[in-house]
Amino acid sequence: MGSIRQRLKAAQNRPSKPARYSAAGLLVRGARSQEWPRVWRSHDLEKSYDVVIVGGGVHGLACAYYLATNHGITNVAVLEKAYLGSGGSGRNTAIVRSNYLTAEGVAFYDRSLSLYNTMSSDLNMNVMFSERGHLTLAHTDAALRTMRWRAEVNKLQNIESTVIDPSEVKKLAPSLDVSPNTRYPILGALHHPPGGTIRHDAVVWGYARGADHRGIQMHQQTEVLDIMVEGGDGPDGKGPGGKVTGVRTNRGDISTPIVVNCTAGWATLISDMAGVKLPITTHPLQAAVTEPVKVFLPTVVVSGSLHVYVSQTDRGELVFGASVDPYATYSMKGSLEFTEELAGHVLELMPNIGRMRLLRQWAGLCDMTPDYSPVMGFTPVEGFLCDVGWGTYGFKAGPVSGEQMAEAVATQRTPKLIEPFKLERFEKGTLVGEKGAAAVGH
Amino acid sequence: MMLVPCPHCGPRNSTDLHYVGESHPRPSVNDVTAEEWRTYLYMRDNPAGLLTETWYCRSGCRQYFTAVRNTATNEFVNHPLPGNRAGAVDPSFHYVSESKTGSVQPTIEGAPS
Amino acid sequence: MSEPATFASPVVSIPDFHSGMGIAVPTLRDESTTTKMLVRADNDSAVAASLGVSFGSAILKGGNVLVAATRPTEWLALGDPASVAAVIDQLVAVAEESGNPNHMSTVDLTHGRALFRISGAAAAKTLEKVCSLDWADNMMPDGAVASASVAKVTCDIIRNNQYEQTSYLIASDRSSAQYLFDAIIDAGAEFDIAVV
Amino acid sequence: MTRLPRQPGEVIDRSVPLRFTWNGKATTGFSGDTIASALAASDTRIFARSMKYHRPRGLLTADYWDPNGFVQVGDDPNVRSGHRLLEAGMEVSAQNVWPSLDFDIKAANGLVGRFLTAGFYYKTFMKPAKLWPTYEKVLARFAPGGTIDLDSPHRYHDKRYAHPDVVVAGGGPAGMAAAIAAASVGASVMLVEHNHHLGGALLWGTDVDRATGARLAAECMTSENIEVLLDSTVTGRYEDNWVAIVQRSHPIAVERLIKARAKSLVVAPGLIERPYVFAGNDKPGVMLSGAVRRLVNMYAVQPGSRAVVFTANDDGDQTARDLERVGIEVACTVDARRGENIVAAEGSTKSVESVVLGDGSSIDADLLITAVGWTAPTSLLNLAGDRPAYDPAAARFFSSRLPDNILVTGGLAGDGSLDELIEHGSATGNLAARRALVVAATLQKLTTRAAPLAGDPGEVPADDRAPLGRNPHPELHRSSTHGIVDYSEDVSSKDLFAAAKEGYDSVELIKRFTTATMGPAQGKLETVNTVAVLAEARGETIADVGTTVWRPPYAPITLGALGGRIFEPVRVSTVQSWHEAHNATPILAGQWIRPEHYGDPVGEVRNVRSGVGIIDVTPLGKLDLQGPDVPKLLNLLYTNKWVQLPIGGVRYGVMCAEDGVVMDDGVTARLGEQHYLMTTTSSGAGGVWEWAENWLQTAHPDWRVHVTPVTTAYTSINVAGPKSRELVSRLTDIDLDPQAFAYMQVRTGTVAGIDKCVMWRIGFTGELSYELHVPSGFGLHVWDTLMDVGADLGVAPFGLEAQRVMRLEKGHFIVGQDTDGLTKMPSVGMNGLIKLDKDDFSGKVELGLALDHTASLALPRLVAIQTTDPNIVPEEASQIVRAGTNEILGRITSSRMSPTLERSICLGQVLPEAAEPDTILTVVMTTGERITAKVMQHHAHFDPEGDRLRV
């Protein structure tokens, strides 16, 4: 451990002079027809790094960014097999909130939300955080009870979260049918004013730009083929008891003492390379968007019973999501039945928008765990850390996960905020209770 | 919509079935350690390749069966067997899914092919 | 005491609608009062052999009992009470004779299932609006038995032509019967479905 | 523009004029017109304004994909005016204009366009942070698109399934030939044409083209094996050729979704003409050759008076000939094949006035037509995993790898004369059919219920088609000037250059950063030019850059069509009609509709406690279990022991999942030597059945047990209250003497004249009660009889709410309410029911670990709780905290005012430290107020000894 920490401390910091984004900058450059500098640079792969982060999505990039900003560790490579943000980071429905069910969950996501709140100025990139409020509808007494449970837990942690009645729901989202005679009557909702949406790609680019300015290298089109581990119990010296020595990629080998796995749906494929078993299965999560119409839905609406969530972008498109596909697969082909169920359920909620047209559907891969909570921190292989198991919550947790994982890497200790999410909990049988609220999704 | 080869009904739409998940032999409950038991309960192989898994033909014959599917292509590679027995990969398995006849591998766009 | 008890059908309301009653018009009939006896036995048992029909097919037994193999190890016998009872008695005798009566059991589902009959040239066209099965003659020939979702209710379906006319029997859980009846009528409205 | 004299290929019916309004102004068109052609014929030149700069826009393609042709029709937003047929009385208006089409305030954006580069919003509006919501509202004003009318009725939509041998996507010459060829070898074919007529490009072609098209179309329409679907689109091709077809014109539904399991899919959508990028390319009057030929030949509309034609292919040449034929002056034909070029369209913002050519000369014209090549709409192929490859010689993409069940023909496959295209289509249809018949035979062979297959399905036929050639075509994407690349999104080639230089230099990144190709046409017009400009910026070729992935649907589909007729099954008991007639307040419980109460739940409780009440508990899950090994199964499913249950006995049990979490509970009765009846919770009925089958089929296939769900075979009626014995005794032959029929026993017999009833003595309510399970066909009769014969006893129905109150008085937990997804069995206070000395049962290992002293200490406990102030009822889910802090110790899971005890009663989950009897708890009310409450000795608030049950 000592050697790792010393190396991390000795990490060089290579600041660069970034061009600040601002209205004035737009005017000046516009007037002079001057170009903006590259948002991030490309590099040759070096022989060794202090830290290698696998996965160039929000989690990996945030981890890199906070390693540099909070801990001065910059000899870091982020390896991305496609382009930055090509996985779940660019495929999610960009909803953020902190109204979780468990105290652990609330504390964690609240930190994430506060990082999102100041992100535009922190990263000097407008991530267009739209704090438009978040409604989780209840169609049954049981769901209403769960909403109240969440609200009460939230209130005790000073999170704005209240259960409201159908007439208040109608005021916040006039397009919803709150009449009592529908198949799924809206009996009330959990209202979470701080929740909202954000421009997911901007979060990716903002972290990448910030990391680049601080000397961290992002390598796109760089696929990890193997992780070198010595001294472990398993075949080839991998597995528990082993120690990470390097990474093999399609662009060459790298030696490194620390590998952080931030690969969401591909998490087990990467952890298999180190000989670490995970309680994760990969399921696609599909989403869809309609053609734009003039804005009529001012808030985020979620219905757990109907497995749907919807928000309207500033461009006027409705963005929809649902629950993960029923069977494990790495295929992201998407399905017709997803759009059928989705449309049927949306029309139960908003019967008057049948004329809107679905424009595009897509899928991302989710890393589902048995308790709908992540697997974070150290593993039985020294130097191999995980930030995975996010399921459908990964985007919301991006900033705080990066921050906490960076702290874990830098201090070689598990930060308190992620203590409940350690891999060991599965062996001990102490699962996190977020499962209680899992049925209500986003 | 994927066609799933039910050993009793024949090919069925995947929405007719319920996916149970990865098949693992259940340890003997009387001499298992906590660690072994929880590995059985929670840990998964989750390969991007051949996966032995259990399905339940919910809208059809209501039978459980064990199939082997390539999770990268969603191709079934043998005639599933009833119950929890898994058959070996059968190269002569003649099935109607297209992945059998084409060599289409899923990739993420923008990734090196 | 109230009125003498009569079997109450699960279909309590028949929607008021106009029907053209043309020759190609599909017809829907509520046959829920039919006696429905479920027989369970191993596939390799003497009972199964005596039933003479395996999963996916139906045959007529004893002249007027339709025996449909609705699942591996499961058969549904449909008919009038006496005829069904006769068939069951005969099976019980076969089971006892085989020396392994434990291999057979029966459950009376007369009250547990609704039974509809949809007939006519456009019956399949109506059903393809509510069910994903392939209704082509080679895929669902006369005597074929399938289980499938019909308007999201899992049903046993038997192709059982009558008078050389295409006809299907649909058995569902009793509690969903009214919903299912309405859903089929709505699907068939396009073809002027008639309730008979 | 005005209407030309009658054209030989026109599809309008001049004898049927149709009146409609355009922005409120009365206008007229003809039957057969599209909205766009009718508007164009009535001199409309500006159809819309662009999204960002609000520049006036006119028709570009005059078809479905026209990015400038979006209009609002009544309450229908984003209608494709180039596609939608005109109807009498339509109220058509322009979208995205304020205050009007001709005078648009937001057009001022155009003046500051140089500052509003793509993605500008990422770089500004950050400070002051407080103002971002205001900025956001302003940005939202620029949202394009029409308006949703929230009072618009929900229209009738429909769906159907289909199982054709061959689906042909596209009714042009190759598609029609494919359909005819497939049908001729006996395949069933669905021919799907996006437009309103079969024929594709032949419709606006030469006399020979039209004659050939008409002949093929007639053959398709009359073939018995071909179902022709017009104004319909194959919107997606999903796994195993699950093909989605949207039928836009259908007599019974606004839109109908067809889900077809195609054995072969023939993809023949033709090609989509591509715009050219140059300065002024979005001025009204700049049109693609296809637009002009459609307008002139199909709709007899004069698109301008003096034209410049920039052509790189036969279509451009033919356009010039068409114009000359109808007397429109062609001022100049600029031929790209001779190296000629155009560099700018000049004029006012509202119209082209002149065209600047590559040599610097300028020609006056009000119409500039470009014919620079095509985009191959490979969307359906992408969905099958294809990665189209770019052929620079032909200047377009071609498919590279496809599964056998997809075949490509027509322009997507290559070029050729009309005869060659038809021949290729024919060969494709034939191959598709032969392959389909192999798949059909395979399906038939594999499907158990199907007719036996004579012979073997055979091998999938190899592709024996002679391939189409590829005509050389110049690569024309951008001139030397910058212009619009994505019309819908207002993205220019300059924006793309800037974005690429800034580092958004892969096709996916540039798409995300600039939003190019993200608009309603989803790249049909824009993708190739976007890729070309990016390649240029990177100094690479189009092949190097590659293309973006087309995502479904191929064309947008309404939510109504996707939702279809919504199937939401509901379940009711036989007694439901009685409940409705007696003013029961319904409650939805899963699929079940049940009576919550009949007006006075408190009165209902009192009536049961003091007299007798009846409740319809039909949804209670019931499983018939038969066979010699039933006790083994019960031992496995429940945590307690079942081997010695006598005939006539009833026992309670809890089921746990393998992780020890409580999943269901209920009672099981032994009716006979090998015959048992199990009850489950209402919501657990399906799950427990599948759980039992799972164990039997996968773990113990040798056990002889038959499980049959009989939930609705019985109408279940619980008769509860001190007078229940009196009531039931009046209509049964079963001996109700407490010695003969004790608590937790079962009997079968006659009730109200109905044979084969099952009756057991249990007591969820805590009162003497008999639960009757009556064959459902007679359920209403028995219910009526109970009400009749019990009138003098004061019998009254009670609903779910009264039952909930009474079970809470008795401290019975409800799975899923008082337990949650992590509640292991030791938490519910029933450790006595966990029998670890059994050989095996579900959850045994985890429960063994949980019962271990240290582990069990950490588990929360379910306890009965009473508030200090008996009049305060904390809401369910109120939190229990450590006094003076916000540290959560537990929560109230159930609470009610008890009419029997006349005080508030609760159940709650608390940590072990707060679970001891008499512990004083702090409960946080939902108002924030903190109250105190006490942990009780027993779960039961009322009659903890159960004396009332056993009388």
d(CA A331, CA D383): 11
* Residues in CB range of D166: below 8 A, 6 or more apart: D178, D179, D182, D187, D188, D189, D190, D262, D263, D264, D265, D266, D429, D432, D433, D436
Helix, strand, coil percentages in chain C from 3-state DSSP, rounded to 5: 25, 35, 40
Our CA-based measurement puts residue B16 at a distance from the nearest CA of chain C, in whole angstroms, of 7
Report yes or no: C179 at the B interface, CB cutoff 8 Å.
Answer: no
d(CA C69, CA C38): 10
Task: Quote the distance between the C-alpha of residue D566 and its chain's center.
Answer: 11
Q: What is the pLDDT of residues C35-90, one digit of tens each?
A: 999 999 999 999 999 999 999 999 999 889 999 999 999 999 999 999 999 999 99
- At D98 the pLDDT is 60
d(CA D685, CA D714): 14
Task: Reduce the DSSP state of residue A295 to 3 states and report it.
Answer: coil
Average pLDDT over residues B73-78: 89
Report yes or no: D884 at the A interface, CB cutoff 8 Å.
Answer: no
Give D106's pLDDT tier (boundaries 50, 70, 90).
low
- At D1 the pLDDT is 53
Closest listed residue to residue A427, CA positions, set D661, B43, B22, D860: B43
D255: buried, middle or exposed (CB in 10 Å: 19+, 13-18, 0-12)?
buried
Q: What is the pLDDT of residues D396-429, one digit of tens each?
A: 999 988 889 999 999 999 999 999 999 999 999 9
Report yes or no: D753 at the C interface, CB cutoff 8 Å.
Answer: yes
Residue of A nearest to D156 (CA): A354
- At A104 the pLDDT is 85
If you write DSSP's letter for every residue of D801-860 in order, what string do you get? HHHHHHHHHTT---TTTTS-TT-BGGGGT-GGG--TTSS--TTHHHHHHHHSHHHHHHS-
Report yes or no: D74 at the A interface, CB cutoff 8 Å.
Answer: no
* CA dist B90 → B79, B94, C49 (Å): 8, 9, 32
**Sole residue written with tokens 């059982």:** C160
d(CA D531, CA D508): 10
Q: Do B109 and A282 touch (CB under 8 A)?
A: no
D904 with D871: CB under 8 angstroms? yes
Q: Do A277 and B43 touch (CB under 8 A)?
A: yes
- At C17 the pLDDT is 53
Neighbors of chain D with 3 or more C-beta pairs under 8 Å: A, B, C
Neighbors of chain C with 3 or more C-beta pairs under 8 Å: B, D
- At B104 the pLDDT is 39
Mean residue pLDDT of chain A comes to 91
DSSP assignment letter at D6: P
Q: What is the pLDDT of residues D333-346, one digit of tens each?
A: 999 999 999 999 99
Residue of C nearest to D564 (CA): C129
- At B102 the pLDDT is 41
Taking the CB of residue D157, how many other CB atoms lie within 10 A of it?
25
**Sole residue written with tokens 């003492």:** A257
Q: What is the pLDDT of residues D669-701, one digit of tens each?
A: 999 999 999 999 999 999 999 999 999 999 999
* Sign (positive or negative) of CA dihedral C104, C107, C110, C114: negative
d(CA D949, CA D152): 57
Residues of B in contact with A81 (CB under 8 A): 108, 111-112
- Strand partners of residue B69: B51, B76
For β-strands A76-79 and A51-54, DSSP reports them as parallel
Taking the CB of residue A362, how many other CB atoms lie within 10 A of it?
17
Strand order in the sheet with A375-378: A217-219, A76-79, A51-54, A259-261, A384-388, A375-378
D252's tokens: 């019974």
pLDDT at C18 over 60: no
Report yes or no: D98 at the B interface, CB cutoff 8 Å.
Answer: no
d(CA D300, CA D285): 17
DSSP assignment letter at A142: H
Mean residue pLDDT of chain B comes to 84
- At D803 the pLDDT is 97
Indicate which of D712, D714, D751, D774 best probes the interface with C, i.e. most C CBs within 10 Å of its own CB.
D712
d(CA A177, CA A336): 26
d(CA A207, CA A122): 10
Mean residue pLDDT of chain C comes to 91
Q: What is the pLDDT of residues D866-875, one digit of tens each?
A: 999 999 999 9
Closest listed residue to residue A364, CA positions, set A315, A329, A396: A329
Peptide bond between residue B106 and the one before it cis (omega within 30 degrees of 0)? no
Q: Select from A326, A370, A426 the Cβ nearest to the Cβ of B19.
A: A326
- At C10 the pLDDT is 86
Mean residue pLDDT of chain D comes to 93
If you write DSSP's letter for every residue of D128-143 in order, what string do you get? SGGGHHHHHHHHHHT-
Q: Select from B9, B59, B63 the Cβ nearest to the Cβ of C154.
A: B59
d(CA A115, CA A403): 9
A425 with A377: CB under 8 angstroms? no
Task: Reduce the DSSP state of residue B91 to 3 states and report it.
Answer: coil
Listed in order, strand segments (DSSP E) in D434-565 are 484-486, 491-492, 557-558
Percentage of residues of chain D with pLDDT beyond 70: 97
Give C6's pLDDT tier (boundaries 50, 70, 90).
confident
- At D51 the pLDDT is 82
| Dihedral in degrees, nearest 10, Cα atoms D554, D556, D557, D559 | 130
Task: Quote the distance between the C-alpha of residue D842 and its chain's center.
Answer: 36
- At A441 the pLDDT is 38
- Strand partners of residue A188: A138
- At D738 the pLDDT is 95
Listed in order, strand segments (DSSP E) in A43-168 are 51-54, 76-79, 95-96, 134-138, 162-164
C88's tokens: 């069951």
Give A11's pLDDT tier (boundaries 50, 70, 90).
very low
Average pLDDT over residues C6-16: 78
* Sign (positive or negative) of CA dihedral D720, D723, D727, D729: positive
Would you say the ipTM is above 0.90? Answer: yes
Taking the CB of residue A207, how many other CB atoms lie within 10 A of it?
36
Average pLDDT over residues B50-73: 94
Our CA-based measurement puts residue C159 at a distance from the nearest CA of chain D, in whole angstroms, of 10
A321 with D123: CB under 8 angstroms? no
* H or E stretch at B94: none
Residue of A324 and A10 predicted with greater confidence: A324
Indicate which of C147, C150, C173, C176 best probes the interface with B, i.e. most B CBs within 10 Å of its own CB.
C147
Report yes or no: A292 at the D interface, CB cutoff 8 Å.
Answer: yes
Report yes or no: C56 at the B interface, CB cutoff 8 Å.
Answer: yes
Closest listed residue to residue A249, CA positions, set A132, A409, A81: A81
Closest listed residue to residue A221, CA positions, set A89, A48, A83: A83
DSSP assignment letter at C52: T
d(CA D591, CA D577): 17
Task: Reduce the DSSP state of residue D171 to 3 states and report it.
Answer: coil
Residues 177..196 of C with a Cβ closer than 8 Å to D: which?
Answer: 178-180, 183, 186-187, 189-190
d(CA D804, CA D589): 14
d(CA A41, CA B112): 19
Q: Select from C33, C108, C152 the Cβ nearest to the Cβ of D569.
A: C152
- At B103 the pLDDT is 39
Report yes or no: C147 at the B interface, CB cutoff 8 Å.
Answer: yes
Could you tell me if residue D744 is left (phi over 0), alpha (psi between -120 and 50 degrees) or otherwise beta? left
pLDDT at A47 over 50: yes
pLDDT at D99 over 80: no
Closest listed residue to residue A139, CA positions, set A267, A21, A264, A306: A306
D163 with C136: CB under 8 angstroms? yes
pLDDT at D112 over 70: no
d(CA D709, CA C191): 35
Residue of D nearest to B83 (CA): D698
Average pLDDT over residues B14-37: 94
Residues 141..200 of A with a Cβ closer than 8 Å to D: which?
Answer: 141-142, 145-146, 148-149, 151-153, 155-157, 163, 174-175, 183-185, 199
Q: Select from C56, C107, C132 the Cβ nearest to the Cβ of D448.
A: C56
* Residues in CB range of A44: below 8 A, 6 or more apart: none
Residue of D521 and D442 predicted with greater confidence: D442
Q: Do B61 and C154 touch (CB under 8 A)?
A: no
- The CA-CA-CA angle for residues D289, D294, D297, to 5°, reads 115
**Sole residue written with tokens 């009038």:** C80
Give A403's pLDDT tier (boundaries 50, 70, 90).
very high
Average pLDDT over residues D774-788: 97
Give C167's pLDDT tier (boundaries 50, 70, 90).
very high
Q: What is the pLDDT of residues D882-928, one digit of tens each?
A: 999 999 999 999 999 999 999 999 999 999 999 999 999 999 999 99
* CA dist D345 → A442, C191, D130, D517, D789 (Å): 50, 56, 44, 23, 93
Report yes or no: D573 at the C interface, CB cutoff 8 Å.
Answer: yes
